[in-house]
Structure 1
């Protein structure tokens, strides 16, 4: 609120002092406008409609409008105005704009705001006055050069509001060289003192320079990284301080294409951002259609109610995905992050009519084939084709991540299922594979039929015969992973999902008919098997290690493929660092049953190949009971890897796909203040993990501990993991650079707090 203190008496004193009535009435007019707007909610636009040539009469008209709207005289006591202004600033904390700002920048609701009271200086006094804003470095590209804007005979709000086109700061160099020289000298002094790029507001009043405020400047990710590295070279910052200046969102910018910032966007709806990046393509409503259109070299966006495992081939061909349901750990979100593709989930405003191949979004109708653009970082869906800009890792970012890698004690691995994923992970800086999901390897076209035939087999012998045909595929996959990682850890999880996921649902008659024909079996046999495999709660049904116990031949085939691959690449001169992970263990005997298969098959293969190698066998800690019996499991396991997605579901009793329906209202009603599938719930899930880690380490001091759920890429969860002494986190390949940064930041934070790890309760 500028010009506070002016009234009918003060304005006369200003006229006598300056001999400039226009200036005096201008600041009075401005004060009435802004004070009425901020304190009484009378919009400034209402005052702007008043058109009177005489400035003094304009003030009278302004006061009349105020009286009409506020039902009281415009206050004349400066102290009354000051008190109301202070209250107005405090109250602004709870206005809708402030609430939205806090939400975007994750500012705590209970932080509160301060009020700053400053003497006025007047940039609109005369031709030797003006106002400006400058940045001590270029906040767009990081160049070490002062730049900004200036207006003669104006107040700061004129510059900010954009009603007048400002002049480049350089005009001051010509018109007021002494002032410019002083300005340049002082702002660089401020930057050195405050060790950050400054956003400085200043005013020149009748030839005298005044600084109004300075603050750390907002900057683009490109500028943030360059400035941080440059300031280390200039000895303004340490490497640790530079690392703390960069955020995960800054890293995201370099990993994915972005929209041209100058292109106007027609946003038609918004969902939940699940995987960052921008993409453009034609709408397709099925994975099959995505494959068909992509063959014609046309870009597609896959739009579904939800995705499942057999959509993966079509997802691989799409530029990005949109689902009407689900959350950040849904199938679509997890696959998108693994593939490095943008994804938006929970777009409840979209109604898909699959029969007529159209989307309805409020009163907008889009057809399959229409082009849309999606922003996976904001959740925005845009009509039409928005130009894309490709981002690349600048040298400064590579340098900064190399510092992060040296500082971080906790390693960062990647969840990678294919050689391409593994290559990407290594390129991004991953220190191995923390989770290779063997089921993802089954969905390729030439393999899926063997999986389906194996499910339909009449007995164990037939199952084993079919599994022997799958073995070469699995073996080759593992060989490729070992070759790419060459000495880095490769953690392979045995089959996890329920078998019904490999068959069409019983309501999909057309898909059932096609599959029966393709497999050359009776349709009724297929339907009976689908019904037999149907479960009321598949998440808690026949999956994970339970599959390997009921059908040990599946585990036997996978373990044989793993060890044959490991022995053969070792003979090629490749270093193998193998870890085998048993999923969904709840009972010690489940783990021991699977461990015995691993040990027996490994001995057989070592004899056959004449090769021996070290390996580790551990379990995925994803059930509450596994955590509660950690002491027992730790006697026999070489490592624990916490599958925090499922563990969170079990502990809360929330379905991760359905939870957005109630978690969003929960957050609005302040029942929960975070997203538990994005950030580890330290009180509940975290407490269970901590207790189990401490119990395990008491029994087996050499046990390795990690996280392989999606929390492995979340900054707050990474800090928690480091705090409790975990050895590594594992996340999607494209989240590895963010996780590396977060691991280094966790180390720096704990160093400041002098905590190395929690060792006791």
Structure 2
């Protein structure tokens, strides 16, 4: 297929600290949301961001139209060489290898829908170099295991169930054996992970481009109303290692609570892990308070960085970070998705915060009619639902609201069901998005507050409970860890995404609010709405519709 020579890839690759003519945060249409955030943090805020470069959206659009641009290999090589000079390591160096992460970066946030490859640059030769320079063979071989698994499934399309299952070994001999098994199974699937890091990089960049047109990404965009023709940028960034040692870890944090709007940091931390471990929802995460106890200096610096980001963006931010051997790195920031009640509270409190001081018009522009109506409905429902006893199990309340529905245990069943359903899974992943979109509630047995299930449900206003660790989700029913059946496909359950409680049967409303109107409940329980919609005497003012819905920020 002929390539459109009018698009020169080299003109659309930018180091994070490239001197753009305007503030990078305004360039999401060129750099994508993640690339714009990385450039803003690097060149404007001076935050501790690992260096790298962004492949701009025009390159993705050229690829989708005409295939791999003729000059993209040379452009990637030039930017890799510049990164090597800055870091002092070389991609593919068997003695001291540079490793990189390859991540997507769409103009609008699409959590988990597009592809990522970490630890790129590991090979049979460089893994020994990493072991030698780090002094830790277990760390090196575990990183190689992670890379082979991610590259095989993400880039080569090898099914996850074709690869070794079970917990990863924790000793060098076991990890070497796991890597050998991985390579054999990848070969049996008719694939091979390249031993040339330049080929690895091309494959990973192309996989990110392809993921824009994956069924899961299309389903998510259809639900969010995102244009299919936008495309995605690609970010290539020097690796930092949350799995390096006991003073390392990774996490995702919101500067305020995205479910309620409360002014407190909200997120998950996972020691000796990499970022995908947190968002995948397969691991038992720790709290930020746990991080403070384990890594007090890194936690203190993180708190300071979160404040700086919120003041700079004048909004609640969603931040990904890694701590490597006690040193904090910020890997991503963006304006965070939030629920409807949180959107109202945030708009009012950010207007009142003297360090941010949104104007009345700015605060109102962040709320469209649909968000306001949903916030009112959630507050009224919460007030009228009353107390309930005899909860079957309790997990983490990840997205507020109480709902009842028939149990379905996979996304296809949710998509095919008639009537309200609650999707129950061990964890959700991007392939489940079509079923999540039609469910009234989501329940998972693993994962934390920033897992895939939590983030997507919160952005869509779907009540969700995650990390209900007492549950074992099977193909036909859900049991206790001792094997007792609690409920099965088709049974009705109720979940409360505020308290994290789960009950058998349908919800009942008995909140003791029979004497109150809906407006009186809203005035009592969500006073921020009156502040935003009324004048000083509390009289309502005209609503304004806006494309800048705070419930679905770009």
Looking at structure 1, the residues matched to 414 and 295 of structure 2 have their Cα atoms a distance apart, in angstroms, of: 50
Q: Deviations over 1:292-324 (max 9, x none)?
A: xxxxxxxxxxxxxxxxxxxxxxxxxxxxxxxxx
Matched, 1:207 2:326: yes
Matched, 1:196 2:315: yes
Looking at structure 2, the residues matched to 93 and 21 of structure 1 have their Cα atoms a distance apart, in angstroms, of: 36
Q: Which residue number in structure 2 is paired with residue 238 of structure 1?
A: 359
After superposition, the Cα gap between the structure-2 partners of 1:139 and 1:17, relative to the gap in structure 1 and judged at 3 Å, is same
Matched, 1:8 2:124: yes
Count of matched residue pairs = 314
Specify the SS of the correspondent of 2:233.
coil
After superposition, the Cα gap between the structure-2 partners of 1:34 and 1:270, relative to the gap in structure 1 and judged at 3 Å, is closer
Q: CA RMSD in A?
A: 3.7
Q: Is the 8 A contact 1:260 1:387 kept in 2?
A: no
Matched, 1:224 2:343: yes
Specify the SS of the correspondent of 2:236.
coil
After superposition, the Cα gap between the structure-2 partners of 1:246 and 1:48, relative to the gap in structure 1 and judged at 3 Å, is farther
Specify the SS of the correspondent of 2:194.
coil
Looking at structure 2, the residues matched to 61 and 227 of structure 1 have their Cα atoms a distance apart, in angstroms, of: 50
Specify the SS of the correspondent of 1:230.
helix
Correspondence list, 1:96-245, <5 A = 96-235=215-354, 236=356, 237-245=358-366
Q: Is the 8 A contact 2:530 2:540 kept in 1?
A: no
Matched, 1:67 2:199: no
Higher relative contact order (CA 8 A, sep 6+): 2
Looking at structure 1, the residues matched to 118 and 269 of structure 2 have their Cα atoms a distance apart, in angstroms, of: 18
Match of residue 83, structure 1, among 188, 202, 205:
202
Matched, 1:29 2:145: yes
Specify the SS of the correspondent of 1:82.
helix
Q: Which residue number in structure 2 is paired with residue 742 of structure 1?
A: 544
Greater radius of gyration (CA): 1
Specify the SS of the correspondent of 2:370.
helix
After superposition, the Cα gap between the structure-2 partners of 1:182 and 1:747, relative to the gap in structure 1 and judged at 3 Å, is closer
Q: Deviations over 1:625-669 (max 9, x none)?
A: xxxxxxxxxxxxxxxxxxxxxxxxxxxxxxxxxxxxxxxxxxxxx
**What is the deviation of 1:263?**
5.3
Matched, 1:93 2:209: no
Looking at structure 2, the residues matched to 147 and 228 of structure 1 have their Cα atoms a distance apart, in angstroms, of: 18
Q: Which residue number in structure 2 is paired with residue 316 of structure 1?
A: none
Looking at structure 2, the residues matched to 67 and 116 of structure 1 have their Cα atoms a distance apart, in angstroms, of: 29
After superposition, the Cα gap between the structure-2 partners of 1:266 and 1:260, relative to the gap in structure 1 and judged at 3 Å, is farther
Q: Which residue number in structure 1 is paired with residue 97 of structure 2?
A: none
User: Tell me, which stretches of 5 or more residues in structure 2 are unaligned?
Assistant: 1-116, 383-399, 421-489, 495-503, 512-517, 550-554
Looking at structure 2, the residues matched to 140 and 74 of structure 1 have their Cα atoms a distance apart, in angstroms, of: 41
After superposition, the Cα gap between the structure-2 partners of 1:48 and 1:64, relative to the gap in structure 1 and judged at 3 Å, is closer
Q: Could you state the TM-score of these two structures normalised by the residue count of structure 2? A: 0.51
Looking at structure 2, the residues matched to 146 and 177 of structure 1 have their Cα atoms a distance apart, in angstroms, of: 15
Looking at structure 2, the residues matched to 76 and 181 of structure 1 have their Cα atoms a distance apart, in angstroms, of: 41
After superposition, the Cα gap between the structure-2 partners of 1:388 and 1:122, relative to the gap in structure 1 and judged at 3 Å, is farther
Q: Is the 8 A contact 1:260 1:386 kept in 2?
A: no
Q: Which residue number in structure 1 is paired with residue 54 of structure 2?
A: none
After superposition, the Cα gap between the structure-2 partners of 1:106 and 1:12, relative to the gap in structure 1 and judged at 3 Å, is same
**What is the deviation of 1:28?**
0.7
**What is the deviation of 1:45?**
3.5
Q: Is the 8 A contact 2:248 2:326 kept in 1?
A: yes
Give 1 or 2: higher helix fraction.
Answer: 1
Specify the SS of the correspondent of 2:212.
helix
**What is the deviation of 1:266?**
3.5
Q: Deviations over 1:510-568 (max 9, x none)?
A: xxxxxxxxxxxxxxxxxxxxxxxxxxxxxxxxxxxxxxxxxxxxxxxxxxxxxxxxxxx
**What is the deviation of 1:25?**
0.8
**What is the deviation of 1:173?**
2.2
**What is the deviation of 1:388?**
5.8
Q: Which residue number in structure 2 is paired with residue 57 of structure 1?
A: 177
After superposition, the Cα gap between the structure-2 partners of 1:11 and 1:372, relative to the gap in structure 1 and judged at 3 Å, is closer
Correspondence list, 1:343-742, <5 A = 385-387=506-508, 392-393=521-522, 394-402=526-534, 740-742=542-544
User: Tell me, which stretches of 5 or more residues in structure 1 are unaligned?
Assistant: 279-365, 374-382, 407-426, 431-739, 749-761
After superposition, the Cα gap between the structure-2 partners of 1:111 and 1:21, relative to the gap in structure 1 and judged at 3 Å, is same
Q: Is the 8 A contact 2:164 2:181 kept in 1?
A: no
Q: Could you state the TM-score of these two structures normalised by the residue count of structure 1? A: 0.38
